[in-house]
Chains A and B, each alone.
Chain A
Amino acid sequence: MTAARHPRRRRLLGTLSPVAASLAVFVVAWQLVVFVSGFPPYILPGPLSVAEAFVRAWTDGTMWPHVAATLVEVLLGFALGASVAIVAGIALARSPLAERLLSPYLVAAQATPVLALAPLIALWFGTGLPSKLVITTLIVFFPVAVATMVGIRSVDPRLLEMARSFRASSWQTVVRVEVPAAGPVILGAMRVGVTLAVIGAIVGEWAGANRGLGVLINEARGSLFDIPLMFAALLQLAIIGVALYLVMLFIERRIVGAR
């Protein structure tokens, strides 16, 4: 089972080794900055103390409930936002009237920072899961809906004529021709959307929540005043974001890569 006998594995190794190298450089540079500047740990903790805080938070059970809460918000919010966005994108692509009626509101909703809307949403939907889902949905919606619309609009009209010659109904055309043809564009937007969903969940947690990584960051900075723990929570957040991005990318590769 050596890497040399497995081309796939060797390729993955070839991709991962520069990533590992750049990570090592980053950690060393970080340690150097801490060493040279002499910042105290409550301003900039070194990588070792952050790693220690990270391990401690996982072993003493501090981290998991917050991670679980944030993951649920991100995944549900993303699923909800992306599904609504795909349906809306199809409607917008097929009906110029719908686009004319709805696009001003869509753009206005996108142009208003979610951060500014969050307190209002927390006021209306409370501090539980629903407010997080609303915020996450809002932030995921726009890029996915626009990509779906553009993707479907740019489907080769010759394919649509072909489908029509075989008497495809509009539903059949959407499901069997338009959405699969726009698939790469939609999946690309979903890949961006999943990282935005993480932002949505944290913003929602800041506007009011009692669990989640956003809450942990606030507590670490405030009542606990444990800056290494705050960094550990940030690290955890980055890991979640990168992992979700990679999962989406993997799904995209599996679906689109075969073409």
Chain B
Amino acid sequence: MHPVPEPEATMATPSAHGRGTGAGIRLSGIGLTFHGAHGAPATRVLEGIDLEIAPREVVALIGPNGCGKSTLLRVLAGLLAADAGTVSIDGQTVTEPDPRVGLVFQEPRLLAWRSAEANVRFPMELAGWSRERQTARADDLLGLVGLREYAHSRPGTLSGGTRQRVSIARALALEPSLILLDEPFSALDALTRERFNLELLRLWERTGTTIVLVTHSIPEAVFLADRVVVLSPRPARIVADIRVGLPRPRRLSDLDSAFVSSLAADVRAHLVDTTDDAIAMEEARMAIPAGLTPRDLPRRYAETDPGTPALFDPFAPEDES
């Protein structure tokens, strides 16, 4: 872990790392129903969502667990098609994953067999960039997230927070004008999480993108966002759109101010069915997905399956034998 990296010479201007202008987004009348497989009942997940986001704005989506926040983010990313309404980025309708959008998932989702640098180059390879351009851009991005020295490390050797930084660098690879983050730091401990939130704001200041993030932490939403959009339980509707008039650049000490507390209370008042007990119960349930025995967990969450063990294997590392 490192302190927030100092801006480097090549990053003096926002345009060195982004287009300098974030994308404007318009969601109008978004509705989505999941049709259950094998006759299971259909679930209405999103209902009549209208939302307009200005360029360079930071918007936090917050709502009870399972309300459809992540689903809404996937619709915005073009990964899921809404069955009502339209999504448009800078006036163009989104129907499939869009090159102007960079997505950061809850888990780093790195390719375990590639180095950090090669993971960051992954989107550029897919986009058919030249090797020189890939290398230069990956080097810039790793510098931006303070990970140059880990360029050749494999994800398996990095800490959870460092992996998530690699995944943020990867999301920035194609110079997106909109970054979507799906509970990006929820797996990190509270202190690391605060520092990452601060780093995210510094990145945002330098890259000039629009940011939409999903979170279930009220203080986090208030600290990061210009607007906190509160969603109802399923089917998700917008129940409140709260403007956060906190000056930027923000500091961690802002989190302790009375102003933030009163805003947080305002957000909480709009959250239905999320008493502290309900949140705790829901989080406990999320920790172990239904139908999984704890014994299955490490395997399920391993990034790749281990190979079949060898009958006779003189090359095995000593500690295995």
Residues of A within 8 A of B107 (CB): 158
A163 to B305, CA, bound (A): 19
Q: Which residue among B79, B97, B107, B314 has the maximum number of chain A CB atoms within 10 Å of its CB?
A: B314
Q: Does B99 contact A (CB under 8 A)?
A: yes
Interface string of A217-230 (1 = CB under 8 A from B): 00000000000000
Q: Which residue among B79, B126, B305 has the maximum number of chain A CB atoms within 10 Å of its CB?
A: B305
Q: Does A132 contact B (CB under 8 A)?
A: no
Taking CB atoms and an 8 Å cut-off, the chain B residues in 16-74 that contact chain A are none
Q: Are A159 and B109 in contact (CB under 8 A)?
A: yes
Q: Report if A252-B79 is in contact (Cβ < 8 Å); known contacts: A168-B126, A176-B125.
A: no
Residues of A within 8 A of B308 (CB): 184-185, 188-189, 191
Taking CB atoms and an 8 Å cut-off, the chain B residues in 265-321 that contact chain A are 303-308, 310, 312-315, 317-318
Interface string of B81-123 (1 = CB under 8 A from A): 0000000000000001101010101010101110000000011
CB distance from B308 to the nearest CB of A (A): 4
Q: Does A52 contact B (CB under 8 A)?
A: no
How many A-B pairs have beta carbons closer than 8 Å: the answer is: 88
Q: Are B306 and A177 in contact (CB under 8 A)?
A: no
Q: Report if A167-B126 is in contact (Cβ < 8 Å); known contacts: A180-B111, A187-B307, A188-B308.
A: yes
CB distance from A10 to the nearest CB of B (A): 10
Taking CB atoms and an 8 Å cut-off, the chain B residues in 183-205 that contact chain A are none
A11-19, A53-61, A88-96, A207-215: which lies at the B interface? A11-19
Number of A interface residues, CB 8 Å? 42
Main secondary structure of the interface of B (DSSP, over half): loop
Q: Which residue of B lies closest to A14 (CB)?
A: B318
Q: Does A62 contact B (CB under 8 A)?
A: no
Q: Report if A161-B314 is in contact (Cβ < 8 Å); known contacts: A166-B122, A167-B126, A176-B126.
A: no
Give residues in A with beta carbon < 8 Å to B.
11-12, 14-16, 19, 151, 154, 156, 158-159, 161-169, 172, 176-177, 180-181, 183-185, 187-189, 191, 245-246, 249-250, 252-253, 256-259
Query: Considering the complex of A and B, which 10 residue pairs feature the smallest CB-CB distances, nearest first?
Result: A184-B307, A188-B308, A15-B314, A166-B123, A162-B109, A253-B315, A165-B103, A188-B307, A167-B97, A168-B126
Give residues in B with beta carbon < 8 Å to A.
77, 79, 96-97, 99, 101, 103, 105, 107, 109, 111-113, 122-123, 125-127, 154, 156, 174, 303-308, 310, 312-315, 317-318
Starting from the known contacts A165-B79, A185-B305, A259-B154, 4 additional A-B residue pairs (CB-CB under 8 Å) come to: A162-B105, A177-B111, A181-B113, A257-B315
